[in-house]
Each structure stands twice: as structure tokens, then as C-alpha cells.
């Protein structure tokens, strides 16, 4: 499964906003509006999902989420 999220920094905290339907459904089931690095670590390691990250500052750019330091 692949999900797409958009990275934004809010008050120095990394937040990942769901952008595709699968990511939005996952956030809905988790009862959250954004993903933290910790939740994305669980999603990738426990569910085996591939996460693609886009950035608001760089339109059209997506990169796979490779390593999270928590």
C-alpha cells in the first residue's frame, strides 16, 4: 500500500498531512488530522506501507520516506 502525505512544520513540530484517499482514510480511522514521525514509523514498520512525502514549498516534488529518527 502506498500513501501520500505533505510535510509542514508547525511551531517547530514536524507534521504530515494526508493528501491521498488512503492516507485520509487511515487518518480518519486513527482519529487524527495529521501524522507525526512516530505514527508514520508505525505505519511503515507495522503495516508495511510505503509513504511518499511532498513539500508545500516545492510543488510537484515527491520523495519516498526512507528513514525517520524519533
Supply 5's cell numbers. Answer: 502525505
Q: How confident is the model at residue 68 (pLDDT cuts 50, 70, 90)?
A: low
52 CB contacts (<8 Å, ≥6 apart)? 2, 3, 4, 5, 62, 63, 64, 65
Task: Give the residue carrying C-alpha cell 482514510.
Answer: 25
Return the half-sphere exposure (C-beta side, CA atoms, 13 A cut-off) of residue 62: 13
pLDDT digit string, tens, across residues 3-58: 999 998 888 888 999 999 999 999 999 999 999 988 998 899 898 889 999 987 77
61 CB contacts (<8 Å, ≥6 apart)? 54, 55
Amino acid at each position: 500500500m502506498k500513501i501520500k502525505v505533505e510535510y509542514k512544520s508547525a511551531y517547530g513540530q514536524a507534521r504530515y498531512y494526508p493528501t491521498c484517499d488512503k492516507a485520509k482514510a487511515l487518518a480518519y480511522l486513527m482519529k487524527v488530522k495529521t501524522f507525526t514521525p512516530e505514527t508514520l514509523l508505525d505505519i511503515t514498520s507495522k503495516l508495511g506501507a510505503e509513504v511518499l512525502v511532498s513539500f508545500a514549498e516545492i510543488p510537484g516534488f515527491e520523495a519516498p520516506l526512507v528513514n525517520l529518527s524519533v
